[in-house]
A and B are shown apart, each in its own frame.
Chain A
Amino acid sequence: GAVVSQHPSWVICKSGTSVKIECRSLDFQATTMFWYRQFPKQSLMLMATSNEGSKATYEQGVEKDKFLINHASLTLSTLTVTSAHPEDSSFYICSARVAGGDNEQFFGPGTRLTVL
């Protein structure tokens, strides 16, 4: 099956710094990638939809200037959390849709971000 990877799997950073999370589709091309955030004991919340070569579409309440998304190629999307604060600590999960496929979404393993 299609494999999506994320890097890093976990990261700890100081408040005020920026953190970049990578999402890669390893064995397929992904025209669309999605970013989710999950707080403890809660469900996944969609943050944004990213299409290769164009600007991401953010969900209501998600600050686009704080969560920078770049989808420069068909196999890579990045999420940068700028000026991170403790309230940004969360589990970030990306998923990718196969280009030309039947719209199945494949999920990465997630990245645990802890901001001190």
Chain B
Amino acid sequence: DAKTTQPPSMDCAEGRAANLPCNHSTISGNEYVYWYRQIHSQGPQYIIHGLKNNETNEMASLIITEDRKSSTLILPHATLRDTAVYYCIVRVNQAGTALIFGKGTTLSVSS
């Protein structure tokens, strides 16, 4: 079973920041938070992951609360191409452990 809770859908205006929340209140100390996205009819694309510190890369920022029970993925300047299903996944960083996908959040970016 997925260990995360995400809103089913969100809307965002092009050029604005998209803030996607994720609740993972039962996360264990050795579990990482991963974010992937899936554009329609494509394979999932890795975005970012973190353990407890905030992380930033060229795609997005990941903000993890101090108690690690929730996190927020931030797309600083959303574009139409960011329209996709975004999945928040918690997983131990261990060889052979698969990513288990929940229902994700469908982000719709409009002009």
Contact = CB atoms under 8 A, between A and B. Distances in A.
B96 A95 contact: no
> Interface size class for chain A?
20 to 34
A46 B46 CA distance: 17
Contacts of B99: 34, 46, 95, 105
> Interface size class for chain B?
20 to 34
Contact of A46 (B44, B45, B100, B104): B100
B17 to A, nearest CB: 25
Nearest to B106: A41
Contact of B42 (A4, A43, A97, A110): A110
Nearest to A45: B101
A107 B101 contact: no
Q: Give the top 4 A-B pairs by smallest Cβ distance, nearest first.
A: A107-B43, A44-B101, A43-B101, A107-B44
28 contacts: A4-B43, A31-B95, A32-B95, A32-B96, A34-B98, A36-B101, A43-B87, A43-B102, A43-B104, A44-B101, A45-B101, A46-B98, A46-B99, A46-B100, A49-B96, A91-B41, A93-B44, A95-B43, A97-B96, A103-B93, A103-B94, A104-B46, A105-B98, A105-B99, A106-B46, A107-B36, A110-B42, A112-B41
